[in-house]
Chain A
Amino acid sequence: MDKKTVTTISYLSRLKIDDEKEEKIINDLGNIIEFVDQLNDVDTSEIAPLANPLEKTAKTRKDIVTAKNLKKELLDVAPSANEDYFLVPRVVE
């Protein structure tokens, strides 16, 4: 774990790391990765990954509309919206 890696993953995470915290974060992340490296102590070459304890395919349901249209309620909780849309800073010049 080094400065370059932390810069890359903080970009991927859309997080800015404050300069004064950067050293500690590099150190913490390095320690955590070292800690989870214990996983290499066991041979898993023949083992299928387990993503979910139920191992069931997500169920499908009948194609019937059940959700109510909450447009107004959802726009009401947005930080910025007009009657129809969420508003964000201009993206097209």
Chain B
Amino acid sequence: MTIKYKSIKEIKNMISNKEISNKEVIQEVFSLINEFQDLNAFITLNEENSIKKAEELDNNPSDLPLAGIPIAQKDLFCTKGLRTTCGSNILNNFIPPYSATVIENLENAGCISVGKTNMDEFAMGSSNETSFFGNVKNPWGKNLVPGGSSGGAASAVAAGLVPAATGTDTGGSIRQPASLCGITGIKPTYGRVSRWGMIAFASSLDQAGPMARTAEDCAFMLNEMCSHDEKDTTSLDNEIPDFQENLNSSLKGRKIGIVKDLDLSSLNDDVVEIYQNSLKEFESMGAELVDISLPHLSLSVPAYYVVAPAECSSNLSRFDGVKFGMRSEDAKDLEELYVKTRSEGFGDEVKRRILIGSYVLSAGYYDAYYKKAQQVRRLIKNDFENVFKNIDVIMTPTTRGPAFKIGSKGDDPIQMYLEDLFTISANLAGLPAMSLPNGNIENKPIGLQIIGNFLDENTILNFAHMFQNETNWHMYTPEGIIQ
């Protein structure tokens, strides 16, 4: 009896049918993590506490929804008493005195936080190559990137080490690694999940969400992650639905928007064919394809690379070596303490983004860049509002191609930024969006993106679940298809 590649639902059943004890589940997780150490998916493990919690559950069985389920937490969420680095040297030694609301919600639902996953430093990257703790490898090929920034999370789920993980998504950081690792992940509507205790990158874009093997498990996780939180002023107080309630609704007559402004000619031919096959699959389930226009879509990457660095330069000003995190050893005065701590603590990509942020916010450039990008952001949001009057979801490929080789994007930042071409617009508009596996190219998985209307995660999850009922792309693993 193994939990490798099992979904949350399957592990729950195994525990409740007494096929496996809680302790055996957790022991196997750590033995798998150990076996797959070379993936470098984790920064910090929580072994002792996890085993203890599992033993308590064996002695006092619980009917909480996630009781005993091992979850890997992205190292961007503060975890009380457990080191939280955000992939950065500057937080190398940081042990938070409190947990993020998301972590509290999941642990209150019974989950066991087995460890903290590797990630691009401060979530700035699309390949997990910017982590201070080294590259994460993709289980589909040890020379391939897992995507980023939630690369450790995606790699751990794809390798079957844990059934699910938490991720965060500022410009595609859940969906792009989900696509490159062949798993399912959703970024909810901005404001659905509390950002309290999440280390901030770009506060108007950041949103946490689940990464798992199936849409059904994502819905299950989302039920526990979402809450209205007074500690986050952008937390929504709208009613939170049961995200599993209409997974099986019929797709007959439902409308899928196909973006005609999207230039597919720049994509790998296989990506286009896989995308079109998926659309045919939805048509065969009764859905209709509708051409839509999002005229400002091509400006989403440039708008993002003004807005996100601006917010990052402001958010990361708190890392100064005074209150927490690392401090440079040999500073003579306070000014030097700030400069040396930050210069030694941050990596190159983080520095690049802080500098861009300082530039676009500085006197004389604010209107030309920051204000301009915010105006374009409104145009992009308006485009989405217009098209969602007539359609249920929008579908695009999640990424331009499958996982690329570690180091292959060189050191040209713009090539890396274009990785998020299809995913960024949902963050700018605050919309929910998901990636799910829909094909393989030379034994490398690739994903389909489904973008939904504001607060309409349920429709996305419905389309994704119905697709997973009809196809088996989500059943492929690096070791072959699950029988």
Give chain A's interface residues, CB within 8 Å of chain B: 5-6, 8-10, 12-17, 21, 24-25, 28-29, 31-33, 35-42, 44, 47-54, 56, 58-59, 61, 66, 70, 73-74, 76-80, 86, 88-91
SS of B interface (majority): helix
Distance in angstroms between the alpha carbons of A63 and B320 in the assembled complex: 31
* B372 lies within 8 A of A40 (CB): yes
Contacting A at CB under 8 A, from B397-437, are 411-414, 417, 428-431
B351 part of interface (Cβ distance < 8 Å): yes
User: Contacts A58-B233, A74-B323, A77-B95 given: A42-B342 contact, CB under 8 Å?
Assistant: no
* B359 lies within 8 A of A89 (CB): no
22 A-B residue pairs with CB within 8 Å: A5-B359, A8-B362, A13-B351, A14-B317, A15-B343, A16-B343, A25-B351, A25-B355, A39-B302, A52-B190, A53-B204, A56-B234, A58-B234, A66-B230, A70-B97, A74-B97, A74-B324, A86-B322, A88-B334, A89-B333, A89-B334, A89-B337
B117 part of interface (Cβ distance < 8 Å): no
Distance in angstroms between the alpha carbons of A17 and B352 in the assembled complex: 10
B358 part of interface (Cβ distance < 8 Å): yes
B119 part of interface (Cβ distance < 8 Å): no
Residues of chain A with a CB closer than 8 A to B411's CB: 24
The size class of the interface chain B forms with chain A is: 35 or more
Residues of chain A with a CB closer than 8 A to B346's CB: 15
* B376 lies within 8 A of A44 (CB): yes
Report which of A9, A53, A66, A90 forms a contact with B362, defined as CB distance below 8 A: A9
Q: Convert B52-88 into 0s and 1s, putting 1 for each residue whose CB lies closer than 8 angstroms to a CB of A.
A: 0000000000000000000000000000000000000
Q: Convert B344-363 into 0s and 1s, putting 1 for each residue whose CB lies closer than 8 angstroms to a CB of A.
A: 00101001101111110010
Name the distance in Å between B298's Cβ and chain A's nearest Cβ: 8
B371 part of interface (Cβ distance < 8 Å): yes
Distance in angstroms between the alpha carbons of A79 and B431 in the assembled complex: 40
Distance in angstroms between the alpha carbons of A49 and B376 in the assembled complex: 8
Give chain B's interface residues, CB within 8 Å of chain A: 94-98, 190-191, 204, 230, 233-234, 236-237, 296, 298-299, 302-303, 305-306, 313, 317, 320-327, 331-334, 336-340, 342-343, 346, 348, 351-352, 354-359, 362, 369, 371-379, 381, 411-414, 417, 428-431
Q: Apart from A12-B358, A53-B431, A89-B333, what 13 extra A-B contacts exist at CB < 8 Å?
A: A14-B317, A15-B342, A15-B346, A25-B355, A31-B413, A36-B373, A40-B372, A44-B372, A47-B379, A50-B378, A54-B430, A70-B97, A88-B337
* B414 lies within 8 A of A32 (CB): yes
Name the distance in Å between A76's Cβ and chain B's nearest Cβ: 7
* A77 lies within 8 A of B373 (CB): no
Residues of chain B with a CB closer than 8 A to A53's CB: 190-191, 204, 381, 428-431
State the 3 A-B residue pairs at the shortest beta-carbon distance, nearest first: A53-B430, A49-B374, A79-B327
* A54 lies within 8 A of B191 (CB): yes
Distance in angstroms between the alpha carbons of A38 and B417 in the assembled complex: 15
Distance in angstroms between the alpha carbons of A35 and B322 in the assembled complex: 36
Name the distance in Å between B233's Cβ and chain A's nearest Cβ: 4
* B302 lies within 8 A of A73 (CB): no
* B299 lies within 8 A of A42 (CB): yes
Name the distance in Å between A16's Cβ and chain B's nearest Cβ: 4
Distance in angstroms between the alpha carbons of A79 and B428 in the assembled complex: 37
By beta carbon, the residue of chain A nearest B301 is A35
* A44 lies within 8 A of B375 (CB): yes
Residues of chain B with a CB closer than 8 A to A8's CB: 362
Name the distance in Å between A60's Cβ and chain B's nearest Cβ: 9
By beta carbon, the residue of chain B nearest A53 is B430
Report which of A5, A31, A51 forms a contact with B414, defined as CB distance below 8 A: A31
Distance in angstroms between the alpha carbons of A47 and B169 in the assembled complex: 27
Name the distance in Å between A7's Cβ and chain B's nearest Cβ: 11
Report which of A21, A40, A42, A78 forms a contact with B324, defined as CB distance below 8 A: A78
User: Contacts A32-B305, A78-B323 given: A54-B333 contact, CB under 8 Å?
Assistant: no
Residues of chain B with a CB closer than 8 A to A13's CB: 313, 342, 351, 354-355, 357-358
Report which of B97, B234, B357 forms a contact with A54, defined as CB distance below 8 A: B234
Name the distance in Å between B346's Cβ and chain A's nearest Cβ: 7
